[in-house]
Amino acid sequence: MQAVEKPQNYQKTLNNSNNGADNTNYVSEAEAKILPSVQNALKNIIAKEGFTLYKLTRRTIASNGSNYMADLYEIDIKGQTNEGYKEIHLFLKHIIPVEAIQSLIDVNICYSHEVFFYNELSEVFNKLQENAKIPEGERFKTVKNYECNQDAMILENLARKGFKTLHRMDVMPIQFAELSITQLARLHGLSFVLKHKNRDYFEEKIKRIESPLHFDKIEVWKPFVKRQFENSTKYFGTGVQEKINQFLENKFIEKFPKHFKGVTDSIKCLCHGDFRISNVMFKDN
């Protein structure tokens, strides 16, 4: 992702804090685009972090075609607390309605899954790993959650720690693939452990997770899948293309929705659902 600096036309506002001191908050004029619920979430974070005097700046993040369901921002909060100077760096994912893809994907369900993970499931996974005394370097890695609600997710900005993403059109490096598969395996493994250690929770919270894809709308689902297959196989030989097309028509269209929704007798586990090269952050050693 590339951070794009916005013109910083800030308007100074003064708010009274609980201890009687003034909070100095510099707010971008473009702040009106952020919903009130998200602005309140930012205020909650500022209060929880103990700021008594602070400056808030916001920059948009250009996803270069990798994201179409949210507006992305970097938010920096710098200022004074009772313990001294402090700064925190946040990543804000602000949901936007996307009517163009609603016929195939329910954006609200997609987003609710992410919120559930950061607000609840990630902590469940952390406790499982702590109880099993998994070494720190071998754990499933998650980002710090500051606050998530129905309109936005506010997480730690890992870019400030040197993490970055690859461009969606890049060729995936071998080491990147190895590290990504390792993290996916840990996610899958934790879902198996969760089912074994806490079956009631698994049945209540995991097994009931709703699919965001409208498989029942075959007039939308089938053409979409065919386009994806065609794009993936257009450089293959004719014989290979024919075999893949037969697999698509005879098996994939019918069986994939059943496996995706967990209604088969096969082993079930959580899957990421959007594990793309541009959706994974990494850091060079």
* Within a domain: 151: no
Q: How many domains does the chain have?
A: 1
* Within a domain: 259: no
For 247, phi and psi rounded to 5 degrees? -60, -40
CB atoms within 10 A of CB 226: 15
CA distances from 254 to 211, 215, 216 (A): 16, 10, 11
* Within a domain: 157: no
* Within a domain: 215: no
230-249: pLDDT as tens digits: 988 989 999 999 999 999 98
Domain that holds residue 36: 2-100
For the chain, percent of residues with pLDDT exceeding 90: 45
pTM of the model: 0.77
* Within a domain: 94: yes
- What is the pLDDT at residue 167? 83
* Within a domain: 79: yes
- What is the pLDDT at residue 33? 73
CATH of the domain at 77: 3.30.565
